[in-house]
Chain A
Amino acid sequence: MKNNKNILTEEMSRELPFSVPENYFNQFADQMDKQTGFKKSIIRTVFKPWMYMAAMFVGILIMGQVFYTINRNNTTRNAENYETYVLSQVDENSLAEIYVEEPAK
């Protein structure tokens, strides 16, 4: 009789003896979303905050590369323009003298 008196407090596990199919709750929630017409934002679900940070970092790198390339092209173009300008200021004879004298140096 003692066992029966204490059976609920001492012997019986309070864990439920039931289980559910695998992934049941995820599927149930998705099914409810469909019924209420809720569409999950894929970007929000897939991209966790750390992925946002990584994407931002990659974006900054790409933009840096683009700026660097444009800047370099401009520098080269400026140098070419300067050379053309200098050459335009010198007459052909003086230019010939420079090129002829140079190997002698």
Chain B
Amino acid sequence: MNPSEEELVQQLNEPKRRAGAFSVIVRTYQERLYWHIRKMVLSHDDANDVLQNTFMKAWNGLDGFRGDSQVSTWLYRIATNETLTFLTNKRMRSQNSIDEVDEALLQNLRADTYFNGTEIQMKLQTAILTLPEKQRLVFNMKYFDDITYEQMEGILGTSVGALKASYHYAVKKIEKYFSDEDD
């Protein structure tokens, strides 16, 4: 039987039990975090790298985690920051425009062995890539994971009102993308 979140947080503060508790945390949250990252970076290899960085950051920052927020919120926050940092670095390395980097992400996706979507799903991914990064995050979290705005507020540090507006605009843009494509 897995320990409760309260027990896990307590074990994280005990040096002898820390690694064991962290192992439980990795096994509990790795899938959710992987998909959160993968939706942003698209390719499996990149998602794998960012996920590793996320957990290593969490492991090295355990002393700073006092259980004020939920473990999941804390991890999502780190994963989100790591993902945005990864995308920024990718952009800086390539010294290309945002559009060119997004196009490169799409090309990676098309070539990725671990993409098995239909044509319309590829079209949706292309449409999502037209959104600004923060809006993409909000759209993905709401549309695919159905995360509540209140939970998102804790993770992204943005007010519920702003998140609702952001999602609304994202949906409008995607609908417009499909509409323009049909014309």
Could you tell me which A residues sit within 8 Å of B by CB distance? 1, 3-5, 7-8, 11-14, 16-21, 24-25, 28-29, 31-33, 35-38, 40
Contact = CB atoms under 8 A, between A and B. Distances in A.
Nearest to A26: B27
28 contacts: A4-B179, A5-B175, A8-B171, A8-B175, A11-B120, A12-B124, A16-B35, A17-B115, A17-B122, A18-B38, A18-B44, A18-B114, A18-B115, A18-B116, A18-B117, A19-B116, A21-B114, A24-B48, A28-B26, A28-B30, A28-B51, A28-B52, A29-B27, A32-B22, A32-B30, A32-B55, A38-B19, A38-B23
B169 interface: no
A17 B27 contact: no
Nearest to A36: B19
Contacts of B48: 24, 28
Interface residues of B, number: 40
Contacts of A13: 121
A36 B143 contact: no
Interface of B: 19-20, 22-23, 26-27, 30-31, 34-35, 38-39, 42, 44, 48, 51-52, 55-56, 59, 112, 114-118, 120-122, 124-125, 143-144, 171, 174-176, 178-179, 182
A27 B39 CA distance: 21
Q: Give the top 7 A-B pairs by smallest Cβ distance, nearest first.
A: A17-B117, A38-B19, A17-B121, A4-B179, A4-B178, A19-B114, A32-B26
A28 B56 CA distance: 12
A32 B23 contact: yes
Contacts of B124: 12
A36 B44 contact: no
Given A20-B44, A36-B59, A12 B120 contact: yes
A3 to B, nearest CB: 8
A29 B52 CA distance: 10
A1 B179 CA distance: 6
Nearest to B22: A36
B182 A29 contact: no
A103 B117 CA distance: 101
A25 B44 contact: no
A38 B171 CA distance: 44
Contacts of A19: 114-116
